[in-house]
Every structure is written in C-alpha cells, then in structure tokens.
Amino acid sequence: MEHVTLNTGVEMPVLGFGVYQVPPDQTEEAVTNALAAGYRSLDTAAAYQNEDAVGRAVQASGIARSDLFITTKLWIQDNGEATTSRAFETSLQNLGMDYVDLYLIHQPFGDVYGEWRVMEQLYNDGAARAIGVSNFMPDRLLDLILHNEVVPAVNQIETNPFYQRAVENQLMTERGVRHESWAPFAEGKHNLFSDPTLSDIGNVHGKSIAQVVLRWLIQRGVVVIPKSVRPERMAENFDVFDFELSPQEMASIADLDTGKSLFFDHRDPAAVARLGGVTLD
C-alpha cells in the first residue's frame, strides 16, 4: 500500500474503502471482506447511518486500531459549536472508538466556521488526528483557510475521468490540502465501464477500466475510496500498484474531462435546499 502524508504529519493510505450507499445491514460484512482484502482505510459518515456496522467489523477483525485509518463526517444538521461536539461524540460511540484519524465537514453549508472551531479543538486534543472538509469549492476552501488557524488536511470532492477538478487540485496542492476523490467511477455514468479510451489503456496493461481509473487518480496524488459489496471487485480495486500509466495515457484520460459534475452543483440553490433539508434520525 502506498501512503500520502497529510499536512498534520499523519500518513493516510492512498487507497481506501468507502461505505457510501452500502445498506447498514450489509456494511459489517462488506467492511469485514474489505479488511480481509487488505484495505486499512475506511470512510464512513454520520449521514450514511452505518458507522456502528463499520465499528463492529473493525472490532471483530482483530486488527490493531493503530494499523487502521478511520474517516467519518459531520452532517449539516449538526452545524454550530455545541451540536458539533455532540455529533462527534455520537460518531465515536457508534464506531466504538476513542479517536478518529480524519473528521470532515460533510457539506459546505450551515455554520461551518463554528464547526471548524470545534474541530480545531478536537484536533488539538488528539480526538481527531486530522480534520478536513468535503465538497468545498475553491472559494469556500480558500476562505476557510484564510480565516482559521488549522488548514484542512483533506478536501473530499467528486472526482472522476469526466469531472477531473484540475483547478481544485492546483489550489489544494498550493495550500497543502490533500485531494480525495468520491465517485471515482462516476457511478457508471457516461458509460464509464465501456469507455473506449479507458478500455484501450486497460488492454495495454492487462487491467480493467476500474483499475485504470484508480491508477490514474493515484498517479495524480489523489486519495481514492472506491466502494463495492463484492469481494472479487474489492480485490480487483486493490490490485493497482503493479503498473503505471504513461504520460501519453494520462493525457488521453485528461481529454475526457467535461468540467461538470455528474451529480449536483454545490452552488445551485436547489441543490443547497435539497441537501439542507436532509436530517438524520
């Protein structure tokens, strides 16, 4: 496994396992299988409502907590200083852990500055070894950096061959924020799994399109957290460290960029209203 070093000095596996959209009743088995396949970085969130299943799988695995990298996230309804503290404690209880390796603001809405003040304290206290954000556009990310003491360690954003986020990547690189991808396979949109460019590159290396995409992200220095409930696909996604894409192949994939989200625009008022209306039980 390759690692990246966050701006806190903490090492993070460049490839992890995500549990977004994994039903809670399937999450424990999925995480158990992912750990057996070799994954040591797990990404969950309060909004996924499966933190407890992740925690059970970790505890049953027998793997030392210090050998794992656990990420979870704060949802919009818990914005503000008092509610952020309570939400973090709830996540720890659900996970059955006394610290997390990375705690993220899940969406750039609500009182993110109040949240960040609490998260800075969690970081200073060691309850979160690193703190960061998710879905922050460049202007929001830079504003947060300029008006706070702790620079986010990570910004987890939609990133895939059709939405490559070059501008965001440059800003994050300049500011010491690690770029992390969600939806690396674009959930199959734009016929990603039959794309001729990706297929041709895969044929050259004897790799699948999914493996090509993961390798492309890793070579860009982007942390990635693919999700699957199939053990054979977990193993396939993990097997991406024995080949390298050429500069020409990287350039060919760069040409696939549309510059547009395949899911939602965080600056669209309708999207903001929709996300802001989602509350957790």
The residue with tokens 């053990």 is 231
How many CB atoms are closer than 10 A to CB 62? Answer: 7
Answer whether 131's CB lies under 8 Å from 119's CB. Answer: yes
Supply the pLDDT for residue 210.
98
Distance CA 50, CA 52 (A): 5
Query: What values do phi and psi take at 23, rounded to 5?
Result: -55, 145
For the chain, the maximum distance between any two Cα atoms, rounded to a whole number of angstroms, is 54
Distance CA 280, CA 136 (A): 21
By C-alpha distance, which of 66, 67, 42 is closest to 55?
42
E strand or H helix that includes residue 41 = strand 41-43
By C-alpha distance, which of 84, 136, 92, 149 is closest to 111?
84
Active site residue 163: no
Measured in whole angstroms, the distance separating CA 268 from the mean position of its chain's CA atoms is 22
Strands 3-5 and 11-13: antiparallel
Answer whether 19's CB lies under 8 Å from 30's CB. Answer: yes
Q: Give pLDDT < 70 ranges for the chain.
A: none
> What are 12's strand-pairing partners?
4
Helix (H, G, I), strand (E, B) or coil at 111: coil
From the candidates 48, 103, 123, 163, give the one annotated as an active-site residue.
48
Strand order in the sheet with 17-18: 17-18, 41-43, 69-74, 102-105, 131-134, 154-158, 178-182, 223-224
Distances (CA, A) of 20 to 37, 44, 140, 147, 164: 18, 7, 24, 31, 20
For the entire predicted model, the pTM comes to 0.96
Answer whether 140's CB lies under 8 Å from 90's CB. Answer: no
Supply the pLDDT for residue 82.
85
Supply the pLDDT for residue 268.
87
Supply the pLDDT for residue 277.
78
Answer whether 64's CB lies under 8 Å from 73's CB. Answer: no
Supply the pLDDT for residue 281.
72
pLDDT, one tens digit per residue, over 213-265 is 999 999 999 999 999 999 999 999 999 999 999 999 999 999 999 999 999 88
Class in CATH terms, 3-276? alpha beta
Helix (H, G, I), strand (E, B) or coil at 162: coil
Distance CA 198, CA 269 (A): 34
